[in-house]
Every structure is written in C-alpha cells, then in structure tokens.
C-alpha cells in the first residue's frame, strides 16, 4: 500500500509539474518570436532589394564562363550555383547567361559580353557590377530604394537604377564608348565635372572617354533630359546682416538639355605646376552650333573665364517683335481683302440697278 501511495503521489506531482513546464516553454516561445519577427523586419527594411548573400547563375547556355576572384582562369559556369563576390562572368559567341543577385534582381549577357561583380564584405547591403565588354541588360525591382545598386564604368558611375536598363561597353583602343539606355523605370549617373540627376524610359546617352580620362564627350541619342555641368567656383559679393560686404566663392553649374544630336565636350589638362586641373567645356545644339564655352581651374574662383559665347542682343525682344509683326501682317491684309470686294460688289449692284432703271 505504501508503494502504491508513493507511486500515486509521484504521478500527481509530475502531472502538476508538466503544465508548468509547458507554460514556461510557451512563455519562452512568446518572448523569442517577436524578437525573430523584429529581426526579419529589420533585415527586410535594410535590404529591400532582397539580395542574396552571393550572386548565383540562374541560367546558362553555350559558352558561359566565370572567373573567380584571385584566379586567372575562366571555367564553365554551373547553372544554379552561387559564386563569390568579386567573380567575373562572360559569354562568348552564341553563349547566354543570367546572373541573379536576388529574386527580382538580375543581370543578363549574351554574345561576346562580360561584367564583373564588386568584391566586398558579406555583410555589405549594396551591390555593384563593373562593365567590361559587350552588352549587359539589368532588371531590378521598380521600387528599388536609392543607394542599393550601382553600375560602374571607368569614367562614370550609374546610381539608383530601378526597372530595366541596358549598357553597351566598347573598347576603342584610345579610350572607350559606353551607351546607357533606361528602358523602364529610372536611373541617374555622374562622372567628373558632370551629373545626370534623372533618366527615364527611352532616355539614352553615349559617353565617350579617352584612355587618360582627359576628354569626355556626352552625346544625346534618345529623349530629353538635364545634364548638370560643373562651371567651377565663381566669386560673388554678399552683404551680411551687419552690413559688411564680403566676397565668397561658390560652386556654379550649367543645366544643359541633352537631346538627340546635341553634345557636351569636356576637356581637361593637368598643369605642370600644381595639382588643380584645368577644365574647358563646350556644348553644341542639334545643328552643331556652339552654345556654351567656358573654362576654369578646379577650386580657383580667380581662374574662371565665365561664359564666352555671347547671346544675340535682346534676343527675346527681337523674337517678340517678329511675332507681333507677323500677327499684324496676317491681320491687316485680310481685313482689306474682305472689305474691298464687298465695296465693289455694292457698287456693281448699285450700277446694275441704275442701268436697269435707266433702260
């Protein structure tokens, strides 16, 4: 009997203890789940592009190859495999390949084309590709946040691409030519002494750079968008609140509309003495006419030519007067023509009437 009572007492104690343990586990799970959810939420907010830790080959056909960082050899890429950041990808001939940086972020190449990926720490939240040869088609989410993806060329960088874009890189021996086309969505790009704040669907630019980067030419090939061109430092006079007059130096820029057949030419020179580069800029309209011409030394307000192209005097007034003269010319003769036939008709009727009466 004592054994039975002892066993019953043990079972009762265990039964009482078991709900307590279950409650403790539930409490622990309740405490941990919000933390996990919050962590996932933070990760999603930090990385809205949903980039994977490493780029992966999503599709490969024909001669599609990869060169891993630190290696000089190219090897056939394996579909579905992840590759380290810093790897380069290329296709040859009829080869085709798609490299995914995330579920909705992908770079596609075909023919004789190649691009590299930026070698960076695994915790880095941004991604970048380096143009090397041929054509790269980039597809990103339309709602991609700014500052997450970049496309680099030797003389400029594309930032904030969203949607679809296309890049064609050509090595010309004495330099390179890169065509940037925004297919859908938007993107921005900038290089030394110039910046394009925004390009949209069907906008395209061709950027020609010399090997030594002392010359950059921007050709408008499609669309109409603004290019901000550096005009160096300019001196301006300001009057302070206390009435004191002082000269200050401020950065100045020219906003030029780049459209088909227009272009911007930027030439640079390194002085024999000092480190401040000299810059000369010219802009040309679609007819090839020079519209802007100025030069400056970097960070030197006292070495700045200002605008050298003189606009026609009172160009706006002349256009206004021409329009008014044209309007007057169109209106006055019309009134004379309308009134004269009426008068002649009246006279003819009167004469006819008199003639009939006379007869």
Query: What does the pLDDT look like over 221-259, one tens digit per residue?
Result: 999 999 999 999 988 777 777 777 777 788 999 999 999
**The pLDDT of residue 269:** 95
- Same domain? For 194 and 99 the reply is no
- Same domain? For 239 and 100 the reply is no
Considering only CA atoms, which of 58, 60, 87 is closest in space to residue 76? 60
Based on its alpha-carbon atoms, the radius of gyration of the chain, rounded to whole angstroms, reads 36
Given a cut of 60, is residue 52 above it in pLDDT? yes
Categorize the per-residue pLDDT at 283 as very low, low, confident or very high, splitting at 50, 70 and 90: very high
Q: Would you say residue 240 lies in a domain?
A: yes
- Same domain? For 122 and 196 the reply is no
Residue percentage of the chain with pLDDT more than 90: 64
Categorize the per-residue pLDDT at 352 as very low, low, confident or very high, splitting at 50, 70 and 90: very low
Average pLDDT over residues 322-342: 50
Considering only CA atoms, which of 260, 124, 161 is closest in space to residue 204? 260
- Same domain? For 95 and 190 the reply is no
310 or 145, which is more confident? 145
Strand ranges inside the chain, DSSP E: 51-67, 75-76, 88-102, 105-110, 113-117, 127-139, 149-153, 156-162, 164-171, 175-182, 186-191, 194-200, 203-210, 215-222, 225-239, 245-258, 263-269, 278-284, 290-297, 300-304
**The pLDDT of residue 200:** 98
| pTM of the entire predicted model | 0.73
pLDDT digits (tens, 9 = 90+) for 182-216: 999 999 999 999 999 999 999 999 999 999 999 99
Given a cut of 80, is residue 14 above it in pLDDT? no
What domain range is 96 assigned to? 47-139
Categorize the per-residue pLDDT at 23 as very low, low, confident or very high, splitting at 50, 70 and 90: very low
- Same domain? For 177 and 324 the reply is yes
**The pLDDT of residue 180:** 98
Residue with tokens 């580069």: 277
- Same domain? For 129 and 183 the reply is no
Q: Measured between alpha carbons, how far is 195 from 227 in angstroms, rounded to an integer?
A: 6
Given a cut of 70, is residue 105 above it in pLDDT? yes
Q: Would you say residue 333 lies in a domain?
A: no
- Same domain? For 61 and 122 the reply is yes
Give phi and psi for 111, each to the nearest 5: 65, -150
Q: Would you say residue 354 lies in a domain?
A: no
- Same domain? For 113 and 57 the reply is yes
Q: Considering its fold, how many domains does the chain have in total?
A: 2
Length of the chain measured in residues: 359
- Same domain? For 198 and 278 the reply is yes
Given a cut of 70, is residue 41 above it in pLDDT? no
Given a cut of 60, is residue 325 above it in pLDDT? no
Q: Would you say residue 340 lies in a domain?
A: no
Q: Which two tokens mark 126? A: 């941004």
Q: Would you say residue 342 lies in a domain?
A: no
198 or 318, which is more confident? 198
Q: Would you say residue 130 lies in a domain?
A: yes
Q: Would you say residue 189 lies in a domain?
A: yes
Q: Would you say residue 83 lies in a domain?
A: yes
Mean pLDDT of the chain: 81
- Same domain? For 177 and 311 the reply is yes
- Same domain? For 197 and 90 the reply is no
């Amino acid at each position: 009997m004592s054994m039975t009572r002892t066993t019953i007492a043990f079972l009762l104690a265990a039964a009482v203890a078991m709900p307590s343990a279950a409650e403790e586990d539930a409490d622990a799970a309740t405490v941990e789940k919000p933390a996990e959810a919050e962590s996932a939420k933070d990760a999603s907010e930090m990385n809205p592009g949903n980039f994977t830790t490493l780029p992966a080959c999503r599709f490969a056909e024909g001669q599609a190859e990869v060169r891993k960082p630190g290696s000089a050899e190219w090897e056939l890429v394996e579909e579905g495999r992840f590759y380290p950041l810093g790897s380069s990808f290329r296709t040859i001939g009829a080869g085709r390949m798609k490299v995914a940086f995330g579920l909705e972020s992908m770079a596609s190449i075909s023919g004789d084309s190649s691009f590299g990926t930026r070698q960076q720490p695994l915790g880095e939240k941004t991604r970048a590709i380096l143009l090397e040869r041929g054509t790269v088609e980039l597809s990103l989410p339309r709602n991609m946040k700014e500052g997450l993806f970049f496309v680099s060329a030797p003389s400029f960088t594309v930032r904030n691409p969203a949607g679809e874009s296309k890049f064609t890189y050509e090595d010309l021996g004495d330099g390179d030519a890169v065509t940037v086309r925004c297919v859908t969505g938007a993107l921005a790009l900038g290089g030394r002494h110039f910046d394009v704040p925004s390009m949209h669907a069907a906008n395209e630019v061709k950027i020609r750079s010399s090997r030594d980067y002392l010359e950059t030419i921007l050709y408008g090939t499609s669309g109409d968008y603004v290019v901000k061109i550096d005009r160096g430092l300019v001196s301006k006079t300001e009057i302070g609140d206390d009435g004191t007059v002082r000269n200050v130096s401020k950065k100045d820029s020219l906003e030029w509309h780049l459209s088909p057949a227009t272009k911007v030419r930027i030439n640079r020179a390194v002085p024999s003495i000092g480190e401040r580069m000299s810059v000369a800029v010219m802009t040309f309209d679609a007819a090839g006419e020079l519209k802007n011409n100025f030069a400056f030394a970097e960070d030197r307000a006292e070495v700045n030519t200002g605008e050298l192209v003189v606009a026609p005097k009172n160009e706006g007034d002349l256009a206004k007067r021409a329009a008014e003269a044209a309007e007057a010319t169109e209106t006055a003769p019309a009134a004379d023509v309308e009134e004269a036939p009426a008068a002649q008709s009246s006279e003819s009727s009167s004469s006819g009437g008199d003639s009939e009466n006379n007869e």
